Amino acid sequence: MKLEQELKLQAWLDGEASPDEAREVEQLLANDAHFAALAGELRMSKGILAGSEPEAVKLPESREFYFSKISREIERLERQPAPAARSVWASAWMRILAPVTGVAALTLILSLPDRSNTGVDETENTIKESTVIQFHSTTEKMDVIWIHSDVDPMPDVSSPDLSTKPDRDDNN
Amino acid sequence: MTTISQARFLRLVVLLGALVAGGWVSAFAAAVELKLQAQLVWGTNERVSSEAGLKEVDTALQARLRNVFKWQTYYEITRKPVAVTTAKPQTAKLSDDCTIEVKQLAANRIEVKLIGKGRPVVTHTLELRPATPLVIGGDDKNNTAWFVVITQTDKA
């Protein structure tokens, strides 16, 4: 099969062959089984391709109409009035509540308890000649401040006088 | 401010009002009276004659003190109730030589100043914890020791 014959076959299938070429192709189809098979394949390909071709894109509206709609929407928005000013009621409330809010915030700050003294336990030893040891007994659950004096005598705080009856004031 | 809507502004006011109320409640809570008990205790390894009129501290406290300190017997010399608020510090005279000054600094925070023979000995600030006494102690003559035990008894 010659290339020229194949091109004529393609032209025939596309309906572009001249009457002479069409007769020649039809004779070949009748006499040449291989040529007829090729024609079948080309027909099938043409059908598949033609079926797969997308339809022509059609816009629902013209380009001019589309852009004119955008232009009209812009003009409509520009013609809209500015948002209405706050109502008289709201303005009056604002004038009252703004200072009230400020006073409330100030009162809040002043009414909060003083946290400056919070934190860890602190011990101040006011006797220079003594040493203070601080610890917490976890087993016995007690905080202990032990005062050890380097000089003798340290300022006693108890010194129970066993010869006298101790002062008692039981209220529990 | 001009862009704040009325509803949003009212919400802000309500929130601030709630915060102020919370602050007042908190301040009121801090003013709640703290009820404490101060005991002057004497620790010794000697048995004291009953004629001396000394009473041993309660068994539980005695056991706790024994487990921490070396002395075997603890006698209660004085016991004084101390009620403090943030506005009202308290002074308690536990013996001729021993006085404590207690200030409430916050809801559960106190300052204790121990004064011995008219001289400030130590000042301690602490956060009160439940069932956790503060024990201030020191050596005394004849290998004995003194203790000031401050315990929270109750909240009014």
Same domain, B113 and B63: yes
Assigned domain for A96 exists: no
Chain A residues touching B116 at Cβ < 8 A: 154-157
Domains identified in chain B, total number = 2
**B21 vs B126: which has the higher pLDDT:** B126
- The per-residue pLDDT for range B116-146, each reduced to its tens digit, is 888 888 899 999 888 899 999 988 888 888 9
Cβ burial A90-121 (10 Å sphere, 16+ → b, else e): eeebbeebeeebeebeeebeebbbeeeeeeee
Same domain, B112 and B42: yes
- Residue span of the structural domain in which B8 resides: 1-30
- The per-residue pLDDT for range A62-120, each reduced to its tens digit, is 788 888 889 989 988 888 877 666 677 788 888 888 888 888 888 888 776 555 555 67
Domains identified in chain A, total number = 2
Assigned domain for A150 exists: yes
Closest CA–CA distance from residue A140 to any residue of chain B (Å): 6
Same domain, B84 and B24: no
Percent of chain B with pLDDT over 70: 81
Assigned domain for A10 exists: yes
Chain B residues touching A155 at Cβ < 8 A: 97, 116-117, 119, 121
Task: Name which of B2, B16, B95 is nearest A108 (Cβ-Cβ).
Answer: B16
Chain B residues touching A118 at Cβ < 8 A: 105-106, 109, 127
Kindly identify which residue of chain B lies nearest to residue A86, measuring between CA atoms: B2
Pairing of strands B134-140, A142-149: parallel
Same domain, B55 and B130: yes
A167 within 8 A of B55, measured Cβ to Cβ: no
Question: In 3D, which of B39, B110, B4, B130 has the Cα closest to residue A169?
Answer: B39
Neighbouring-strand partners of residue B116: B98, B119
User: CB–CB of A146 and B124 under 8 A?
Assistant: no
The pLDDT of residue B83? 92
Same domain, B147 and B75: yes
Same domain, B94 and B147: yes
Instruction: Kindly report whether the global pTM for this prediction surpasses the value 0.80.
Output: no
Chain A residues touching B129 at Cβ < 8 A: 141
- Residue span of the structural domain in which A140 resides: 125-157
Residues 6+ apart with CB under 8 A from B111: B102, B103, B105, B123, B124, B125
Same domain, B97 and B142: yes
User: CB–CB of B140 and A123 under 8 A?
Assistant: no
The pLDDT of residue B141? 83
Same domain, B60 and B135: yes
Instruction: Note whether B139 contacts A: Cβ–Cβ < 8 A.
Output: yes
Assigned domain for A117 exists: no
Same domain, B115 and B147: yes
